[in-house]
Amino acid sequence: MTHSLRAKRPHDPWRHGEPRLVDVMEDPLIHAVMARDGLIPDEVWPLMLEARSRLGSRLCRVMALAA
């Protein structure tokens, strides 16, 4: 792929790095899985935010030790 074609393509967080939580939670496939499990985004968001908060503080310490 030439550089000019790559420059025109929008950035895709699913292919380059890790997508933001909001991108994951807006994905139609994620919505299908939640629906299959009887969940709705308004029920899942608080859990995701709490998990991110709890893991974030732990991961920062782990990353500092690994550096």
C-alpha to C-alpha distance for 27 and 47, rounded to whole angstroms = 17
pLDDT digit string (tens) for the chain, length 67 residues: 555 555 676 766 667 777 888 888 999 999 999 999 999 999 999 998 888 888 776 665 655 565 4
pLDDT at 13: 61
Q: What are the sequence ranges of the domains in the chain?
A: 20-66
pLDDT at 59: 63
C-alpha to C-alpha distance for 48 and 39, rounded to whole angstroms = 13
Q: Which residues contact 41 (CB under 8 A, 6 or more apart)?
A: 25, 31, 34
pLDDT at 3: 56
DSSP letter assigned to residue 9: S
